[in-house]
Structure 1
């Protein structure tokens, strides 16, 4: 792969990874980060320029969809999961039957 094509692929990877990490929901964020890494790892070994061009076009369109999806997810993200709580933050106390 030539220099400019590799640089363009690297820039697309970084933009897609950055967008994937911007999801508010832990599950979506983890899924899209892993999916991005897997897709670009497979494309990194590709040598055929026509397949790389097709891959870049497809991933550019997917990036636009991913950006819109991340914005919506940030607006309606919901509560944090247990795996997302910082370790120094105490977990809520378990309520007893007599507690109100």
Structure 2
């Protein structure tokens, strides 16, 4: 029976997965992988069986390798930015100019 990974190791993997998910240039992919990572580790947080924790951790390590490769490809062929990705300051300035009637 393998020993389960330490809490520090799990948190490190979690932050690495979030950082890698944030590196996607595509808004939809980025948000999907962030949400998936948070959901996965929320389930891992509630788990008490050491064998299940080890299995979930190993799956997350494998997925990290796939996620890293996918992020690189996504950065190479990113595409256009979506409207929802506009910076909050830009949206604020745009809404203020519309209120003033400056089209």
TM-score, structure 1 as length reference: 0.82
- Is 1:52 equivalent to 2:53 in the alignment? yes
1:30 maps to 31
1:68-89 alpha-carbon deviations (Å, 9 max, x no partner): 0000000000000000122427
Q: Across the two proteins, how many residue pairs are aligned to each other?
A: 89
1:43-70 alpha-carbon deviations (Å, 9 max, x no partner): 0011111111111111000000000000
Q: Distance in 2 between matches of 1:85 and 1:21?
A: 16
TM-score, structure 2 as length reference: 0.80
1:67 maps to 68
Q: Distance in 2 between matches of 1:56 and 1:39?
A: 10
SS for the counterpart of 1:47 is coil
Query: Structure 2: any 5+ residue segments left out of the alignment?
Result: 95-103
More helix by share: 2
CA-atom RMSD in angstroms: 1.8
